[in-house]
Amino acid sequence: MTTHEHPLEVYRRFQSYLIGGEFGLLGEVADLEGYTENCVGLTGWTTGLATALRNFQDNIASRLTDMVPTEHDVIQAGDMLVIRGSYEATQSGEFLGVPPTGRRVAYDFVDMYRVTGGRIVWRYLLCDWKGLRDQLTAAA
């Protein structure tokens, strides 16, 4: 990691490592101990990257696979970054109380980050879980 990376560059590396399963590299772009996040509707507030990773693996990555993010809007101000985007994923496990369907689905998100010293220290993620659940429960 270089100290001149902008929050957007840090975010993109974080997402790449997270989705690519390169968890050992996340310490390059996230504060391992001080990292705090809230994945609204799934986890509530958690502190520590190890806890956040367990939540991601248990609640999302083991259930939604082949995730592909798309950035639609990016707003950066100082150490703060807001991304509005969407994910495409395949439902491979029970998610939101819905048994695995194998469907390819898409859902919107707003992801907010605070980056300090080239590392993410705070994250607040809002996802359209209702829209996703509606897709999973729709008649085939």
33-54 tens-digit pLDDT: 999 999 898 888 999 999 999 8
Distance from C-alpha of 120 to C-alpha of 100, rounded to nearest angstrom: 32
| Helical (H) or strand (E) element with 119 | strand 119-127
Domain boundaries of the chain, sorted by first residue: 7-137
Pick the CATH number of 7-137 from 3.30.1380.10, 3.30.505.10, 3.10.450.50, 2.60.40.420: 3.10.450.50
pLDDT of amino acid 43: 85
Residue 73's Cα: distance from chain center in Å? 16
For 81, list phi and psi in degrees, rounded to 5: -140, 135
Of the candidates 136, 15, 124, 130, the residue with the CA atom closest to the CA atom of residue 69: 15
Distance from C-alpha of 9 to C-alpha of 97, rounded to nearest angstrom: 35
Residue 98 pLDDT more than 90?
Answer: yes
Across the chain, mean pLDDT equals 92
Q: Do the beta carbons of residue 118 and residue 31 sit within 8 Å?
A: no
Pairing of strands 64-77, 44-47: unpaired
Please report which confidence band the pLDDT of residue 2 belongs to, taking 50, 70 and 90 as the band edges: very low
Mean pLDDT within 7-11: 94
Tokens coding 40? 């609204």
Q: Do the beta carbons of residue 109 and residue 131 sit within 8 Å?
A: no
pTM to 2 decimal places: 0.87
Tokens 């502190």 identify what position? Answer: 47
Residue 3 pLDDT more than 60?
Answer: no
